[in-house]
Amino acid sequence: MNKHFAGDTAVLLGRSLRHIARSPDTIITTVITPIAMMLLFVYVLGGAIRTGTGSYVNYLLPGILIITIASGISYTAYRLFLDLQGGIFERFQSMPIARSAVLWSHVLTSVVANLISLVVVLLVALAMGFRTGADVLGWLAVAGILVLFTLALTWLAVIPGLTASSVDGASAFAYPLIFLPFVSSAFVPTESMPGPVRAFAENQPVTSIVDSLRALFAGQPVGSGIWIALAWCLGILAVAVAFAGLIYRRRVG
């Protein structure tokens, strides 16, 4: 690893964070959809959904947090694409900097931006009556899973950021990710779904992650589900990093 990796990444991270600070609309547009969904599901549809637990907002929040991340990471693809379009990417590549710092700074920016978005959504949920019995360790575990999931999806977003041929293409890939929570245990228990749909829902990453978050928020034991959740996150992360790295090296020669 290049001896300048940490320093170069820090400089470029500072640059991207300034972008976010100067256009906070990227945070606002990220949180608006999850918050609207939360309002819709809690106050309009929630009354008809039988989850078997007390408060529906408590049941719903983990899925909403996943949707927040899924919509937030598309900005990484967008910002990376813009860097490639303008000359600044070539400027960085022709400078004596650590090659991977350019990608890592975008990824870390995504983690920071998504954490801000998650806190905003969490505050709205608290105002809507969300309550948790999680202790400090439980909160740390929740934060750990959310950061890991953000990292995994952000590296996934790096791929369209590097390969897209238009701005729309770079950011459009996130839409299917936003719908993944709907076919999971995020909004309704999977038991209510017909066979094949239920089989898909129970074996896709969102369900295990949502179930683990829900257990942690409730202060209950997470069981073996958390290992499946972590395995999914690490698996997606490893595959996405490998592919993004391959495309990046091919791109920068």
Partner 1 sequence: MDRAGAAIRVQGLEKSFGQVSVLRGVDIDVARGSIFALLGSNGAGKTTLVKILSTLLKADAGRAEVNGFDVGRQAAGVRESISLTGQFAAVDEILTGRENLVMVARLRHLKNAGTIADDLLRRFSLTEAGARRVAAYSGGMRRRLDIAMSLAGNPPVIFLDEPTTGLDPEGRLEVWRAVRELASGGTTVLLTTQHLDEAEHLADRIAILHEGRILVNGTLDELRKLLPQATVEYVEKRPTLEDVFLALVTGEKR
Is the Cβ of residue 102 or residue 177 nearer to partner 1 in the bound state?
A: 102
Name the amino acid, one letter, at 244. A
Distance CA 237, CA 154 (A): 9
Q: Which is nearer to partner 1, 84 or 210 (CB)?
A: 84
Angle among Cα 232, 234, 235 to the nearest 5 degrees reads 60
Beta carbon of residue 156, minimum distance to partner 1 (angstroms, whole number): 25
Name the residue type at position 62: P
List Cα–Cα distances, 42 to 125, 134, 178, 183, 245, in angstroms: 10, 22, 18, 18, 41
7 versus 219: smaller Cβ distance to partner 1: 7
Binding interface with partner 1 (CB under 8 A): 4, 7-8, 11-12, 14-15, 18-19, 22-23, 86-88, 90-97, 252-253
Tokens 């790096």: give the residue: 158
Torsion-angle region of 129 (φ positive above 0: left; ψ -120 to 50: alpha; else: beta) = left
> Smallest distance from the beta carbon of 94 to partner 1, in angstroms?
4
Closer CB to partner 1, residue 50 or residue 91?
Answer: 91
Tell me if 228 sits within 8 A of 208, measured CB to CB: yes
DSSP, residue by residue, 196-218: HHHHHHHTSHHHHHHHHHHHHHH
Is the Cβ of residue 33 or residue 100 nearer to partner 1 in the bound state? 100
Please identify, using beta-carbon distances, which residue of 47 and 250 lies nearer to partner 1. 250
Distance of closest approach, residue 89 Cβ to partner 1, in angstroms = 8
In whole angstroms, the minimum distance from the beta carbon of 8 to partner 1 comes to: 6
CB of 152 to partner 1, least distance (A): 28
Q: Are 205 and 124 in contact (CB under 8 A)?
A: no
Query: Would you report the helix, strand and coil content of the chain in percent, each value rounded to 5?
Result: 80, 0, 20
In eight-state DSSP terms, residue 181 is G
CB of 105 to partner 1, least distance (A): 11
